[in-house]
Amino acid sequence: MSKNIYPLLDTINTPDDLKKIPITELPKVCEELRSFIIDELSEHPGHFAASLGVVEITVALHYIMKTPYDRIVWDVGHQAYIHKILTGRRAQFHTNRQYKGISGFPKPEESEYDAFGVGHASTSISAGLGMSVAANLKQEKDRHIVAVIGDGSMTGGLAFEGLNNASINPNNLLIILNDNQIAIDPIRGGMHHYLVNITTSRTYNQVRFRLSKLFTDFNILTSGKKRKITQITNQIKASFARQSNIFEGMNIRYFGPVDGHDCMNLARILNEIKDYNGPKVLHIVTKKGKGYKPAEESATEWHAPGKFNKETGERIISDPCGQPSLYQDVFGKTLLELAEKNDKIVGVTPAMVSGCSLNFLMEKMPRRAFDVGIAEGHAVTFSAGMASEGMIPFCNIYSSFMQRAYDNVIHDVALQKLPVVFCIDRAGLVGPDGATHHGMFDLAYFRCIPNLTIAAPLNELELRNLMYTAQLPGKGSFVIRYPKGKGVFCHCEWEQPFNELPVGKGRCLKPGNDFAVLSLGSIGNTATKAIKILEEEGWSVAHYDMRFLKPIDEELLHTVAKKFNRIVTIEDGVISGGFGSAVLEFLAENGYQASVKRIGLPDRFIEHGTPEELYHEVDLDVNGIANSVRKFLSKQ
Ligand SMILES: Cc1ncc(C[n+]2csc(CCOP(=O)(O)OP(=O)(O)O)c2C)c(N)n1
Ligand SMILES: CC(=O)[C@@H](O)[C@H](O)COP(=O)(O)O
Ligand SMILES: [Mg+2]
């Protein structure tokens, strides 16, 4: 790292160092931070455009607030790279999201400056409010709590719940609303329209400006003038501000909108409003990808672009022709095909249009594809409502984000036996997003819900056929879970005529005599390779692809249990309560004595790294599985 490139940054290791820099130099600090992010991220990929948009507010916050005593709570945390760099992690930043490196999200275990662990959206207002109310109860009147939330994350129900609660208990929470007019994909919805209106309405902003000026000057006025101003402001507030501003209407003071890229002004404003009593919102307007033209022009593509050539802006995508398709694309293309055949089919996503490839349907049939915002619970209940009116919603939610919508699945879908097809993407270990994003729990958390059919395809063709099967009449509430990344077929071999799969039936992939392996889902492909190694060592192994966790294929399990006294179960979900547990329960309840080895994800959170590194760590790669099986066999 050359001193010439980052003369100011080289003097900053902590926010205390930043505070030594004159305020007039802050724009230069911002410039260096931008260059640093572009340099680093072009080589060590991560979330890119969001951090570029919050350079100024991050610098201003650390300049004015006394972190870590004051708390900054980031929403999602994918935009917290500048915060990491300013809080002692610049030297490690090249390890961001890598195995054993620093996390891509704020994490209290990693740094005292990371006030709250994040990764999922819309938590910052609730968490920040909790901290602020706690500070008040503990008489820590001088402690500032700041929640930084994006306009996309503001669409989440939890954010609204936090706002609703914000003015009830004494607290001084400052909410920074980072309005860049986009989430990962373009934002749709009422909140977005509201923010656009508030930002562009001249009359509104003139009145707001005058009002806030009155508030600011209030303390230096005589008591007579104060009374008069109070009367006027109350009238104006009652007749205008409360009606026009959702935050004011909820007794949360509102400041803005202000230019989120004017660092010095942001610092001045923060300094001025930070000690105002009560909850308050500072609305800043920013540009996602600010300072890097390709990202400014196409923020969706540059949300997490992978490696890129920083000079040309060319993304380095290693995707030679003939590679297997992504599971998400198989979902997206199959859904479009099914929707062309059946006009009852619609697609629903909570703000992951490009992530889950719903864009195939959205481009061709925009009226039948719904991006409902970062609102998983709503996505489920909205789908339930449509299903109750005869539609067949394919509701696609990432496994870890589905955790948000658990009761909606039980209360709004399963209990009413509604034909919603849940396509659960990113099941299993996802890689560099780490513990907050791994899809570890869905098998366990869905299995105990009555009326759900739960399936996991071995490969892309199975995914396609399961999707076809799920939308046929009488199939009820259906879950199909599949992993991130590529399938197993060469190119598009999965594009075959649809084939109905018998619900609740598994299949034998290969016969054998010494012991049986039962696998569920795409981890079965790894199991196949492990079995090959074991067979080369002389074992005769039977392999069954169960396809369905629920209803589990009891006929097949009886056959297996009668023939084998050694059974291995393999899944890429957490070991407790999932597929292996289901097999154990079946065997115990039916009086079978077989020894069972359950192979799956351990009962602990798993950090970040490549999927290969992580599956190796938890012994769910080919050698890991073979070793576990060997150990099991040696004990029998
Ligand atoms: C509960 C949940 N759902 C979905 C996501 C995926 N996600 C991460 S960032 C993001 C967009 C956030 O938009 P915004 O808050 O506006 O931040 P920006 O990227 O624009 O700075 C989404 C949908 C998530 N992290 N958590
Ligand atoms: C921050 C966040 O939650 C998303 O951006 C997530 O990283 C997307 O993951 P995929 O890249 O698997 O779509
Ligand atoms: Mg945004």
Are residue 17 and residue 56 in the same domain, yes or no? yes
**C-alpha 333 – ligand 2 centre gap (Å):** 20
Q: Is residue 216 part of a domain?
A: no
Q: Is residue 305 part of a domain?
A: no
CA angle 312, 315, 320 (to 5 degrees): 130
In a mutational test of the pocket of ligand 2, which residue from 328, 396, 433, 486 has the highest number of ligand atoms less than 8 Å from its CB?
433
Say whether 107 is catalytic. no
End-to-end Cα, the chain, rounded Å: 57
Q: Which residues surround ligand 3, an ion (CB under 5 A)?
A: 150-152, 180, 182
180 annotated as a binding-site residue: yes
Give ipTM to 2 decimals: 0.99
Are residue 145 and residue 268 in the same domain, yes or no? yes
Are residue 335 and residue 409 in the same domain, yes or no? yes
Q: Look at residue 157 in the predicted model and tell me its pLDDT.
A: 96
In a mutational test of the pocket of ligand 1, which residue from 55, 160, 181, 184 has the highest number of ligand atoms less than 8 Å from its CB?
184
- Residue 594 CA neighbour count, 13 Å, CB half: 29
CATH number for the domain that contains residue 609: 3.40.50.920
Q: Is the pLDDT of residue 3 over 90?
A: no
Q: DSSP string of 170-212?
A: ----EEEEEE-SBSSSB--SHHHHHHHHHHH-HHHHHHHHHHH
User: Which of 433, 449, 483 is the last residue before a domain boundary?
Assistant: 483
- In this prediction, what percent of the chain has a pLDDT beyond 90? 87
Tens-digit pLDDT profile for residues 429-444:
999 999 999 999 999 9
Domain that holds residue 259: 9-201+253-293
Are residue 479 and residue 575 in the same domain, yes or no? no
Q: Is the pLDDT of residue 230 over 80?
A: no
Tens-digit pLDDT profile for residues 582-618:
999 999 999 999 999 999 999 999 999 999 999 999 9
Are residue 370 and residue 449 in the same domain, yes or no? yes
Are residue 37 and residue 148 in the same domain, yes or no? yes
**C-alpha 502 – ligand 1 centre gap (Å):** 37
Q: Look at residue 223 in the predicted model and tell me its pLDDT.
A: 65
CATH number for the domain that contains residue 172: 3.40.50.970
The answer to which of 174-188, 319-333, 579-593 has the lowest mean pLDDT is 319-333
Q: Is residue 190 part of a domain?
A: yes
Q: Look at residue 4 in the predicted model and tell me its pLDDT.
A: 76
The catalytic position among 89, 290, 404, 484 is: 404
What gap in Å lies between CA 581 and CA 586, rounded to an integer?
9
What gap in Å lies between CA 621 and CA 628, rounded to an integer?
10
What gap in Å lies between CA 601 and CA 606, rounded to an integer?
9
Given a contact cutoff of 8 angstroms between Cβ atoms, the answer to whether 529 and 478 are in contact is no
Instruction: Label residue 188 by pLDDT band (50, 70, 90).
Output: confident
The catalytic position among 288, 368, 447, 550 is: 288
**C-alpha 290 – ligand 3 centre gap (Å):** 12
Are residue 273 and residue 347 in the same domain, yes or no? no
Tens-digit pLDDT profile for residues 517-563:
999 999 999 999 999 999 999 999 999 999 999 999 999 999 999 99
Q: Is residue 29 part of a domain?
A: yes
Report how many domains make up the chain: 3
Question: Which one is predicted more confidently, 194 or 110?
Answer: 110
Are residue 151 and residue 85 in the same domain, yes or no? yes
Q: Is residue 318 part of a domain?
A: no
Does the beta carbon of 29 lie inside 6 Å of ligand 2? Answer: no
Residue 364 pairs with which residues in a beta bridge? none
Helix, strand, coil % over all residues of the chain, rounded to 5: 45, 15, 40
**C-alpha 153 – ligand 1 centre gap (Å):** 6
| CB within 8 Å of 127: residues ≥ 6 apart | 73, 116, 147
The catalytic position among 32, 56, 337, 376 is: 376
At 221, which amino acid appears? L
Are residue 476 and residue 511 in the same domain, yes or no? no
Q: DSSP string of 563-584?
A: H-SEEEEEEEEESTTSHHHHHH
Residue ID of nearest Cα to ligand 2 atom 13: 355
Does the beta carbon of 114 lie inside 6 Å of ligand 2? Answer: no
Q: DSSP string of 319-366?
A: --TTPPPBHHHHHHHHHHHHHHH-TTEEEEESS-HHHHTTHHHHHH-G
Given a contact cutoff of 8 angstroms between Cβ atoms, the answer to whether 416 and 482 are in contact is no
Are residue 395 and residue 259 in the same domain, yes or no? no
Residue 166 region, left (φ>0) first, then alpha (ψ -120 to 50), else beta? alpha
Instruction: Label residue 1 by pLDDT band (50, 70, 90).
Output: very low
Are residue 533 and residue 468 in the same domain, yes or no? no
Given a contact cutoff of 8 angstroms between Cβ atoms, the answer to whether 54 and 82 are in contact is yes
Q: Record the pTM.
A: 0.94
Taking each helix axis from N to C end, the angle separating 55-64 and 263-273, rounded to the nearest 10 degrees, works out to: 40
Does the beta carbon of 261 lie inside 6 Å of ligand 2? Answer: no
Q: Is residue 546 part of a domain?
A: yes
Tens-digit pLDDT profile for residues 198-222:
887 756 656 655 555 555 555 555 6
Q: Is residue 239 part of a domain?
A: no
215-221 own/partner pairs: CB under 8 Å, 24+ apart: 215/253, 216/272
Q: Is residue 477 part of a domain?
A: yes
Are residue 27 and residue 152 in the same domain, yes or no? yes
Around ligand 1, the residues with Cβ closer than 6 Å are 50, 53, 76, 78-79, 120-121, 150-153, 178, 180, 182-184, 288, 351, 374, 376, 401, 404
Given a contact cutoff of 8 angstroms between Cβ atoms, the answer to whether 115 and 92 are in contact is no
